Structure 1
């Protein structure tokens, strides 16, 4: 079941189905991005989130700040161990405001319980992301 939910999430993220992606999350989640808790002023989508109601907004904001047609993000491996999954890949995005392209490896740790995602921890090169969004 874990792999199925993870693959469903990745598919919905890839097609821009933000509400559909959010439906896969529990009401309360353990959410963490590879940033200081207060985030970074150039990267407004980086902030604490607590549950399903907040998730669609996160994905919408990512799309708002990037050129969707230039998204080349790819998944190279999905590892599953019981309720936990790790997704490995590369983020490839272009900032809408300044045309700056960036690439970052990522690891996404998900936990699926009772058919819903209860943990979303993503690790990426946050400096590269912040620099791209701060570029003029």
Structure 2
């Protein structure tokens, strides 16, 4: 599997909100970073592929179902590294406030498994929607 095909598979499984299927794409040991307000339970670092489905379910439970939109803008690939550029729109379940943020997801894929995922987004906009 190529880096591009693994990342495209990740995006397809993510869009289907199949947390377990997304988790299957990750190696046992990973470098995962989602910066943000520490009061939001899905932010922070993860080190194990088994953490990925838990992360997704936790994050999704804080968004209003049916009120999310992802616009993919571009994917750049160089060997084992890929970057996905997108715009994310969600509505915070606790407040009902919508937010939109540009995002970049940096991947590293080794032997057909994701070993690194770092998310870059407007953490202030995300946090502000929840307070």
Q: Which TM-score band (shorter chain)?
A: over 0.9
Q: CA RMSD in A?
A: 1.0
**Do 1:40 and 1:130's aligned partners in 2 also have CA atoms closer than 8 Å?**
no
Q: Higher strand share goes to which structure?
A: 2
Q: After the TM superposition, which parts of structure 1 deviate over 2 Å for at least 4 consecutive aligned residues?
A: none
Which residue in 2 is equivalent to 1:50?
47
Which residue in 2 is equivalent to 1:96?
93
Distance 2:30 2:11 in 1: 17
Distance 1:96 1:116 in 2: 32
Distance 1:103 1:85 in 2: 23
Question: Any idea what the Cα deviations from partners look like across 1:107-134, whole Å, max 9, x if unmatched?
Answer: 1000000000000001000001001011
Unaligned ranges ≥5, structure 2: none
Question: Any idea what the Cα deviations from partners look like across 1:50-98, whole Å, max 9, x if unmatched?
Answer: 1111000111011100013111112110111111000001110001121
Q: Higher helix share goes to which structure?
A: 1
Unaligned ranges ≥5, structure 1: none
Deviation of the 1:48 alpha carbon:
1.9
